[in-house]
Structure 1
Amino acid sequence: MNQDSTERIVTALSDWIAHAAPGARLPSNRALMARHGASPVTVQKAMRRLAALGLIESRPGVGTFTRAGRTARAADYGWQTAALGTPPARMPVLSSTQRTVAPDAIALHSGYPAPELLPERLVRQALGRAARRNTAVLRSPAAGSPDLQAWFAGELASAAPVGVTPASARDSLIIAGSQSGLSSIFRAVVGVGQPLLIESPTYWGAILAAAQAGVELVPVPAGPEGPDPEAVARAFAESGARGFYAQPSFANPTGAVWPEATRSAVLELVRRNGAFLIEDDWAHDLAIDAAPRPIAAEDEDGHVIYLRSLTKSVSPALRVAAVIARGPARDRILADRAAESMYVSGLLQAAVLDVVTQPAWRTHLRGLREQLRARRDLLLDALREHAPTATVETVPRGGLNLWVRLPDGSDAEQVVRECAARGVVLAPGSEWFPAEPSGAFVRLNYSGEGPERFPEAAGVLGDVLSGS
C-alpha cells in the first residue's frame, strides 16, 4: 500500500514539476502528507525518488525546490517542414482532456473515472493470475483470444430480440482500445477522401481518427435525443456517404440517448442506402438511469459495425475493446489491425476476461451506477446553486460527463483559461464539433477525483461567467 502511495505522490509531483518554473518551491512534507493522506515515511520515499530522477533539490533549512535546468540552445527543426511536406489533413493537436494538471487543481476535464470507481482488487488479482499462465509468454491470435471474442459476442447476443440471429464469436475482433478500432474502421471501410456522416457534437477522438485517416466528415446536427432521421436521410442523399459514425447510448459529450423511433429510422436508412452504421457503445457499462440497448443487436445483415470498450469500466491500464462486424467488412478491419499492431497482448486479454467473468463484476457495476448517479447529481446541484447561468440541457442517463452551455456571447476558450488560472480545469466544447461550434459549451467530467470540491469548482465557474 505504501508503495502505491509513493508512486501516486511521485506521479502527481512529476506532473506539477513539468509545468512549474525552474527553482519553484515544492509544498512542504506536511502539506503533502495531508493532501495525499500519506505517512511521513511515504512522503520521504517519494522525495528521494524525485531527487534521484534529478527533478528536485533540497536546501537544508530552506525547503525543496525544482531543479534549475541549464540553458540549452534552442533546437532548429525547420528542416522538417520541407521533409514532411503538407499533411494530408489538418490534424487536431492533443486534446485538452489529455492534459496533466497541477496536483491541487480541480480536474473536471478528463475522460476517465477516478481510481476509486474502478474494480481495483479484481484487476490486480486478475493480472496476477494471468501472469502465471502461458498468455504471459505466447502471442495472441490476430483476431484475439477466442474466449474473449465469445464473451463480447455473447454480451451483444443477450440484447438481441427474439428471432434475430446474433453475432458469432468469429465476428468479434479484439483491439487495443476503441480508438484503434475507429482508425481501422475509417481506413478499411470508409476510405481516404470518402464522406462519413458524423453527429455534431460528437467524440473528439472520432474526429481525430477521421482526420488521420483522411476521411471527409459530413456533420449531422444532434440534439438531446440524437439526430433528426430526416437530416440523416438528406445527408446520405447529398453526400453519397456509405457510413455514419454515431453514439446512440449516452453520447459523449451530450449524454443523449436515441429514442426507439430514431433507432429504427436510422437502421432502416443505412439498410436502404447500402451503408454502415458505426455504433460506438463507449459507455455500455456506465449506465445510470437507463439500460444500454445496442442497435447492433437488432442487425442481421452486417450494416452495423459495433464498438465496445472496457477501458473506462475495468481499467485505463488495460486498453482492451472489441469491434463486432460481419462479412467482408470484418475481414478488412482485421487486415488493417494486423498491419497496424499484429495482435493485442494476450496477458491483457486474459486479465480483462478474468475480471468480467467474476461474480463480483456485476456487483461492482451495480455499485458504480449508484456512485455515478451521486456524483452527477452533486455536480448538477453545485452548478444550479453557484453557476446558474450555465445550462445543462440534458441530464445524462449514463456516461461520465455533463455538457454545459454557457450564456450567449460567452467565449468558451476564454472561460476555460480563466477557470484554469483559478485552479479549475475544464474542457472547451469546441473540440467536440467536426465543424464550427453551434454555441459556447464546456464539458465537465463528474467521475473524477474530489467530488467534495464540486461546489468550489462551480463557484469559480460562476464567478468567471459573472465577471467577478
Structure 2
Amino acid sequence: MAPGDRLPSSRELTEEHRVGPATVSRAIAMLAAEGLVVARPGSGTFVAPRRRASGNEAADTSWQAVALAGRDYDPANAVEAAQPLPAQGITMSGGYLHQSLQPTRALSAALTRAARRPDAWHRAPAAGLESLREIFARQTGPDLTPQDVLITGGGQSGLSLLFRAIVAPGSPVLMESPTYPGALTAARAAGLRPVPVPMDDEGVRLDLLADAFAMTGARLLYCQPTFHNPTGTVLSAERRARIGDVAHAAGAFVIEDDFARHLGHGRPAPPPLVGGDRHGTVVHLTSLTKPASPSLRIGAIIARGPVMRRLRSMRYVDDFFVARPLQEAAVELLSTSAWDRHLQALSTSLFERCAVLADSLARELPEWQLARLPAGGLHLWIRLPPGSDDSIAADAARAHGVTVNAGHRFFPAEPPAAHLRLSFAAAANPAELAEGARLLRSSRDGT
C-alpha cells in the first residue's frame, strides 16, 4: 500500500483473516507503535508517510572527539561490563548475586505493599524517607540519627556524589591498592587523581597512608575496611582504631565503603568505622543492591557536619530525590522477618560457594595462588604464576565459556603481578563453580 492509503476496516480484516477483533486491534496498535500506520479517529487507519532513506553512509560523529577532549574518562570498566556473556556459559565475574540467591519473593511482596500506600507516588523528601533513614541509622551505630543519613540511588550513585562533593577537580584521592574499579572510574570522572596506598594482610598500611597524605596533600581517602573488594581483607582492629586519627591529623575525610556488611559467611562483621568517629572524619556509604538485588537501587550516605549539608544541596542539582516507591519498598523489606531469614540463608550459601570454588581451584589449578579464604564478600582474589597476563587469561576463559575479571582493572597504578577476581555468587549453583574451575584449567591448557 502507498503512503496515505486507508487500511480496510476492522470488520473487513476480521473476516478476511478469520481472527478475532481483539487480534486485529493489537496488530494495528503494534503497527502504530512502529510508526507504520496512523490512526485518525472517525476516519480510519492510514499508511504512514515513508521515512526518507539516509543512504548507506554512516553518520560522521568524529567532531565529538574534539568537543569531548579535556575530560578524563576511563572506559575500561564499561567496556568489560558490556561484553556479552558466553551462551550457556558460567558467570564468575561481576559483583551481584545470582537470581537464585536474591530474595525475589520478599522483594515482590514488599513492592506490592509499598504500592498500596496512599502516598506511594508522592514526592519524597530530598534526604529520603525518614523511616528509611531511621533504619540505616539504627543499623550503623547507636549515636546516629536520621538527620545523619542521606538516601542515594545505590552505592555507585553515592560514590559519584561523594567524590564530586568533598574535593575539587584535579585533587588527589588516596585509595587502597588494589581497589574497586567502579570507585576508580567515579573518581576519575570527577576529575580526581587516584593515588595508590599498598595493603597487606591486615588491610591498608597506615604508615604508608600517613606518608601519602603528607606527600600529596590529599584530603580524601577511599577505603573498604570490611570484606574488601577484591581481596576480601578485613581491616585489623588495631588499624580500625587508628585510621580515623591518621586522616584527621591530615585534615582529610575517609569514605568508608561498607558495601559488604550483609555479606558475611557466618561471622559478624566488625563495627563500622563511622560508629567510633569523633570528628566527622568518616563518611559512611552502604547499599542494599549487593545483599538483595541489583535493581534495588537504594543506598545511604551517613555523615555529620557541613559535609552533609553540602551533600543534601547537591542532591537538588543531581536528581532531587530517589523514587519514593522504591524507598517505600525498601522500608517494607527491611522491616520484616523475611529480610533476616534471607540474610541467614545468604550467609550459609556464600560460605558453601566460597569453599567449593576454593577447593575446586586448589584441585584443578594448584599453581594459582589464593590470597586468602575470605570471611565475607562475593569474590576470590587469585594471583597468577609469574609471567602470566591477566587479560589473556580472562579472554581464554571467556572462549571456554567462563567469565572472570582481569585483575589489572583493580589497581590505581601499575599492578605488581597478574591477578584474576573470581565471583562465587554469580553462578547458578555450587556445581557450576566446580565445572567453572575445570573449564579454567582447560583454558589455561588451551584444550
TM over 0.5: yes
Cα deviation, residue 86, structure 1: 3.1
Deviations 1:283-320 (A, max 9, x none): 01101143222111111321100001001112211100
Letter in 2 for 1:232: L
* Corresponding residue SS for 2:376: coil
2:284 aligns with 306
Contact 1:314/1:352 (<8 A) preserved: no
Conserved? CA contact 1:98–1:110, under 8 Å = no
Question: 2 CA distance for matches of 1:183 and 1:416?
Answer: 28
Distance (Å, rounded) in 1 between the aligned partners of 2:56 and 2:346: 49
Structure 1 stretch displaced more, 415-424 or 320-329: 415-424
- Answering whether residue 142 of structure 2 is matched by residue 142 of structure 1, we say no
Would you say the 8 A contact 2:232–2:372 is kept in 1? Answer: yes
Q: How does 1:68-467 map to 2 (within 5 A)?
A: 73-90=57-74, 92-94=76-78, 96-97=80-81, 99-158=83-142, 166-292=143-269, 293-450=271-428, 451-467=430-446
CA displacement, residues 406-427 of structure 1 (integer Å, 9 cap, x when unaligned): 1111011011111111111111
Whether the 8 Å contact between 1:281 and 1:307 is mirrored in structure 2 is yes
Identify if the C-alpha distance between structure 1 residues 357 and 75 changes in structure 2 by more than 3 Å, giving closer, same or farther: same
State the one-letter code of the partner of 1:449.
A
Using the size of structure 1 for normalisation, the TM-score is 0.81
Separation in 1 of the partners of 2:128 and 2:82?
Answer: 28
Q: 1:250-293, CA deviations, whole angstroms, 9 ceiling, x for partnerless residues? A: 01111010111111121210122221111000001101143222
Provide closer, same or farther for how the CA distance between residues 456 and 327 of structure 1 changes in structure 2, counting only shifts above 3 A.
same
1:232-259 CA distance string (max 9 Å, x none): 1100111111111000000111101011
Distance of 1:395 and 1:98 partners within structure 2: 29
Show CA shifts across 1:335-358 (max 9, x none).
222211110011000101110110
| Alignment partners' CA distance in 2, 1:123 and 1:98 | 26
CA distance in 2, matches of 1:89, 1:249: 28
Residues 403-412 or 79-88, more deviating: 79-88
Q: How far is 1:89 from its partner?
A: 4.7
The residue matched to 1:353 in structure 2 has which SS?
helix
Secondary structure in 2 matching 1:136: coil
For the aligned residue pairs, the C-alpha RMSD in angstroms reads 2.1
CA contact (8 A) 1:97 1:427 kept: no
Distance in 2 (alpha carbons) for counterparts of 1:85 and 1:454: 43
Q: Is the 8 A contact 2:92 2:423 kept in 1?
A: yes
Stretches of structure 2 lacking an aligned partner (at least 5 in a row): 1-30, 35-54
8 Å contact 1:420–1:426 — kept in the other structure?
A: yes
Question: What SS does structure 2 have at the residue aligned with 1:94?
Answer: helix
Q: Deviations over 1:407-461 (max 9, x none)?
A: 1110110111111111111110111111111210111110113331222221222
Task: Give the deviation of 1:204 after TM superposition.
Answer: 0.6
8 Å contact kept, 1:96–1:109: no
Q: Deviations over 1:381-403 (max 9, x none)?
A: 11011111111111111010111
Unaligned runs of 5+ in 1: 1-51, 55-70, 159-165
Structure 2 distance, partners of 1:424, 1:314, is 24
Q: Which has the larger radius of gyration?
A: 2
Deviation of residue 223 (structure 1)?
2.7
Judged with a 3 Å threshold, the aligned counterparts in structure 2 of structure 1 residues 285 and 242 are, in CA distance, closer, same or farther, namely same
Aligned mates of 2:134, 2:197 — CA distance in 1: 34
Q: Percent identity?
A: 39
Letter in 2 for 1:96: E
Deviations 1:178-215 (A, max 9, x none): 11111111111122111111101001110010011001
Give the CA deviation at 1:90: 4.7
Task: Check 1:289–1:259 CA distance in 2 against 1; reply closer, same or farther (3 A cut).
Answer: farther
Give the 3 Å change call, closer, same or farther, for CA 178–104 of structure 1 in structure 2: same
